[in-house]
Amino acid sequence: MTPTLIGGTPIHVLQDHPLLDTASLATSANDKVLVIIQLSGGNDGLNTVIPISEYSNYYNARTNIAIPENKILKLTGNDATGIHPAMTGMQNLFSDGKLNIVQSVGYPNPNFSHFRSTDIWMSGSDSDEYLNTGWAGRMLNNENPGYPDNYPTAQKPDPLAIQIGSLTTLTCQGPTVNMALSISDPSSFYNLIDGTDAGVPNTNSGYELSFLRGVAKLTNQYTARIKAASDSVKQQVAYPNNYLAAQLKIVARLIKGGLQTKVYMVNYGGFDTHSGQAVASDTTTGVHANLLKVLSDSIAAFQSDMSGLEIEDRVIGMTYSEFGRRIKSNDSGGTDHGSAAPLFLFGKNVRGGVFGTNPNIPATAKVNDNVPYQYDFRTVYNSILQNWFCVSDTAQTEILTKQYPTLPLINASVCGINEKDSTFAKEALIYNYPNPFTSFTKIEFKTKGGHTLLQLLDGSGTIMRLLVEATYNYPGMNSYNLYGSGLPTGVYYIRLQNEDKVYVKAIIKM
């Protein structure tokens, strides 16, 4: 076992490296950092962020795993929405204004394969589009053209991105190489910073292995920077004893140590809960509860560390999972692959609160019913690009391959942007009558002008029809006549997107 791998190369302590300029480690204090937490397996969003306003329908759809209403953790200032009782750490972050819950994040025509949907999220592609570069990789390449030739430099002496894991993923894949370097695992990282080398057998092959490691020490150009950054941090808060927390502790140490790395990625798996998701006698406990407790406690510790290390102005974090789960639970006490799910942003500079509305849950949910997406995940990416990394409009379109709106999720004043008030109006933005309908329903929708999208989605969250796509010069009410010919009976959703505002409404075809 090698102590640490970066890009497949063993990392060892390298003394007197020419790039080891410890003074320059302090020059990156104004650089902004994004920490991405991947929840592998497809997290059950409805048992994570619980729609209290839809509780009876929620309970009826999943009686064998539903969280009792009196056990749901309340969110300050929001009586309609709560979170799983295992997530007290994130509840406290929400109360402090350092947690943003984005409801029903997904994409049109969702794919229910773990591998394909993960690629879609990492690349930022459409469901029928195949990209061999990642969204963060394109961003980093835009800022560092020509990488890796002639890197590192005096101005860019550090890894552009770091992933804790054996392999770099598609997220940071650039046009020619991956823009991220990997640290194989937390325990081996501490071998690096403690100056510990892995033992070799007292044989000819062991001698050769020692020789190769010596060559690696001489050629590796980032080890000294990483070690110097880590060694400069003398004290951190106590972290929980779990794998995710160990990864985040490393990230905190390297950020505080002064690395100019902009993107850090960590992974926590086990969210593919097809069976035994909760304990039948106490649904607040079980596999999913344990996963959410690890997530919540680890993020809370990390954010506390950011505050104690006095770097929370520089760092925001984001969670995502490749998809959510179905509305209705299965007979095995679990949930099957679904579509949209909530996404968390955390940090001092996020605009805390719940963004979006609770998903509509049918009174009689069927086995294939899904949570329809309210927000395209690429609008979240675009908001990070514009309001956190201060990427230009032109570069945003190049990075995401097309234009997406931004959402008021981050304190955009860090990029000198004066945000418009994007709070949802109290009155509904969309109506339809009659509802339920048989052959015809009239949809009336309000816009504030600008680009407007009206879509019809089926119960699985798949777009069935594009009803309206237009740019309106003035605010006002508009209408569309939806004819039910060819639509089977059942629950559908109409989704209105007007610039950065989204509204989803359930309609019923009889």
Query: What is the C-alpha separation between 238 and 336, in angstroms, rounded?
Result: 36
Query: Of the given ranges (175-179, 198-202, 255-259, 473-477), which has the lowest mean pLDDT?
Result: 198-202
Q: Tell whether the model's pLDDT for residue 184 goes beyond 90.
A: no
Query: Counting Cβ atoms within 10 Å, is residue 144 exposed (0-12), middle (13-18) or buried (19+)?
Result: middle
What's the pLDDT score for residue 186? 57
Q: Tell whether the model's pLDDT for residue 352 goes beyond 50.
A: yes
Whole-angstrom CA distances from 329 to 87, 285, 426 are 21, 16, 32
User: Are 350 and 142 in contact, with CB atoms under 8 Å apart?
Assistant: no
pLDDT band, very low/low/confident/very high, at 26 (cuts 50, 70, 90): very low
What's the pLDDT score for residue 477? 78
Q: Tell whether the model's pLDDT for residue 146 goes beyond 70.
A: yes
Structure confidence by residue, pLDDT tens digits, 314-325: 999 999 999 999
Rounded (10°) CA dihedral 99, 417, 308, 192: 100
**For range 72-84, the mean pLDDT:** 94
Whole-angstrom CA distances from 137 to 140, 269, 358 are 5, 23, 33
Q: DSSP string covering 382-434, please?
A: HHHHHHTS---HHHHHHHHSS-----S-B-GGGGT------PPPSS-SEEEES
pLDDT band, very low/low/confident/very high, at 62 (cuts 50, 70, 90): very high
Whole-angstrom CA distances from 323 to 45, 314, 404 are 9, 29, 20
User: Are 88 and 296 in contact, with CB atoms under 8 Å apart?
Assistant: yes
Q: DSSP string covering 22-77, please?
A: GGGGGGGTT--EEEEEEETT---GGGTEEEGGGHHHHHHH-TTTPPPGGGSEEETT
pLDDT band, very low/low/confident/very high, at 188 (cuts 50, 70, 90): low
Sign, CA dihedral 44-48-49-50, equals positive
Q: DSSP string covering 343-370, please?
A: EEEESTTB--EEES-PPP--TT--TT--
**CA-based nearest residue to 398, from 52, 179, 142, 117:** 142
**CA-based nearest residue to 263, from 134, 356, 92:** 134
Q: Which domains does the chain have, with CATH numbers?
A: 5-197+223-375 (3.40.720), 430-509 (2.60.40.3080)
Whole-angstrom CA distances from 221 to 16, 324, 439 are 12, 40, 68
**CA-based nearest residue to 476, from 452, 500, 454, 456:** 452
pLDDT band, very low/low/confident/very high, at 205 (cuts 50, 70, 90): confident
Q: Which H or E element spans position 442? A: strand 440-447
Whole-angstrom CA distances from 504 to 182, 189, 457 are 40, 46, 10
Both tokens of 453, joined, read 């999208």
Query: What's the whole-number average pLDDT of the chain?
Result: 85
pLDDT band, very low/low/confident/very high, at 157 (cuts 50, 70, 90): confident
Q: For the chain, how far is it from start to end, CA to CA, in angstroms?
A: 63
Q: Beta partners for 456?
A: 465, 494
**CA-based nearest residue to 299, from 360, 363, 344, 352:** 344
Top-confidence residue, 373 or 196: 373
Q: At what angle do helices 186-193 and 243-256 cross, to 10 degrees?
A: 40
Query: Of the given ranges (94-98, 134-138, 485-489), which has the lowest mean pLDDT?
Result: 485-489
Top-confidence residue, 78 or 332: 332
Query: What is the C-alpha separation between 232 and 215, in angstroms, rounded?
Result: 26
pTM over 0.85: no
Top-confidence residue, 184 or 308: 308
Task: State yes or no: cis peptide before 85, omega within 30 of 0.
Answer: no
Structure confidence by residue, pLDDT tens digits, 407-438: 889 987 778 765 544 433 334 578 787 888 88
SS (H, E, C) 89-106: HHHHHHHCCCEEEEEEEE
Q: Tell whether the model's pLDDT for residue 217 goes beyond 50.
A: no
What's the pLDDT score for residue 207? 66
Q: Tell whether the model's pLDDT for residue 17 goes beyond 80.
A: no
Rg (CA), the chain: 24
pLDDT band, very low/low/confident/very high, at 189 (cuts 50, 70, 90): low
User: Are 177 and 148 in contact, with CB atoms under 8 Å apart?
Assistant: yes
What's the pLDDT score for residue 16? 34
Q: At what angle do helices 186-193 and 223-231 cross, to 10 degrees?
A: 90
